Amino acid sequence: MTDIVIYHNPACGTSRNTLALIRNSGVEPHVVEYLKSPPSRALLVEMIGRAGMAPRDLLRQKGTPYAELGLDDASLTNDALLDAMIEHPVLINRPLVVTPLGVRLCRPSEAVLDILPDAQKGAFAKEDGEQVVDADGRRVTPA
């Protein structure tokens, strides 16, 4: 059984689509509602590093205290940005997915296909109707 973790917000369509794509590969992931159970600072640092990102790359601006906290200040250190994400987990962009093949911020949701060890089991369309996987389990490339 493949061990996959998704840091998920059920109120987010991109997060719901990503979770559904993981399940479409035949895997039931470990779902962490990160607003209720945020990752530790050490785990967050590890995931950011494994994803090849900088803390700023994981910051969510929309619907968060990003502006109020002055996080657009380019002189802020990575430690200061991490402190803000730990204090305000809503600042952590989602969904963040961890698989044996890597860690990825799955925006758009189909980015998860790059790190899923198991093939898609059938067709998949996003909530908005956009076809992402065909009936044979192959990724659909936009025309």
Separation between Cα atoms, residue 78 and residue 106, nearest integer Å: 21
Taking a C-beta distance cutoff of 8 angstroms, is the pair 110, 103 a contact?
no
Q: How far are the Cα atoms of 1, 62, 72, 79, 113 from residue 94, in angstroms, in the given order?
A: 24, 12, 19, 20, 16
Any idea what DSSP says for residue 112? G
Q: Is 106 a catalytic residue?
A: no
Q: Which of 4, 12, 71, 96 is catalytic?
A: 12
Active site residues: 12
